[in-house]
Amino acid sequence: MSLRIAFMGTPDFSVTVLSELLAAGHEVVAVYSQPPRKSGRGMTETPGPVHRFAADAGIEVRTPRSLKSAEEQQAFADLDLDVAVVVAYGLILPKAILDAPRMGCLNLHASLLPRWRGAAPIQRAIMAGDKETGVMVMQMDAGLDTGPVLLAEHMPVTKTTTAGSLHDDLSQVGASLMVRALAALSRGSIVATQQSNVGVTYAHKIEKDEARIDWTRKAPELDCHIRGLTPFPGAFFEVTRGDVATRIKVLRAEPVSAKGASGEVLSLEDGVTIACGEGALRITELQRAGKGPMKADDFLRGFALSRGERLV
């Protein structure tokens, strides 16, 4: 059954879901997305990924800065929706918006709720060392990711999982899950399950200061930290030469058995091995500011590190 839908989303993660809704034959009558933001050297206003995709597909795109006004809420109600699908939109939905569609508003959230409610569930799951995460379709209510769950898919977090790879996997799985949820919703065969009050955690937005590597932490913890911030914003350390501090991102590393003072360069063979508070990390891929990603050997040919020096 084709449903009359408003899609509300902004980043790349949301595009896959919108694409699948269209492929499933649903009538997406409007797309809501964050307003274009200034970027680049010229600070020109650039539409987000969902905005661009929807415009190319010939769908009306609306970019209000808020949905709190009576005018915006009436414009939304006038769409005469069966359901609204929300995927990483970025604006709070007032009660009038939540209540307008006949079947309510469904949200796709990239965690196993109630764990990692909030803005950065993909990164936080990896950074915390979770062995499993997933994606859920939730019936939205007035709380922050507190509504009843309609469908869920679980996914392992492996020793090589990065925020980038998990983002892409969950986006694909989530798109299929949302299509299935809408089909079941239209048949009246879906069962809502209230979230548990046990195990609630919040995935707060990633702050810039968090990306700096603290070499006093244990190597396995730093491995999770690095993978959870790859590719963006990227975990980093700095090397100072004279008055110049060079920021270096760590893109790939693995814990190894070695000892030394925290931050000490232990070896420059088969990667860059750095001592941690417990154990060590062997870094195999790095990136200097203004440069592309490089394997450790290539990196060292253009930026010298010395065995025994301390990194911060």
pLDDT (tens digit per residue) in 172-205:
999 999 999 999 999 999 999 999 999 999 999 9
Name the H helices within 188-277: 219-228
The answer to whether the beta carbons of residues 245 and 219 sit under 8 Å apart is no
Q: Can you tell me the mean pLDDT for 291-302?
A: 96
Q: What percent of the chain has pLDDT over 70?
A: 99
The predicted-structure confidence for 254-294, as pLDDT tens digits, reads as follows 999 999 999 999 999 999 999 999 999 999 999 998 899 99
- Residue 12 Cα distances to 21, 137, 266, angstroms: 15, 18, 39
Residue 279, phi then psi, degrees to nearest 5: 75, -160
User: Residue type for 270, please?
Assistant: D
Q: Is the pTM of this model over 0.85?
A: yes
Which strand (E) or helix (H) includes residue 97?
Answer: helix 95-99
Q: Can you tell me the mean pLDDT for 140-165?
A: 97
Domains of the chain: 4-202 (3.40.50.170), 209-302 (3.10.25.10)
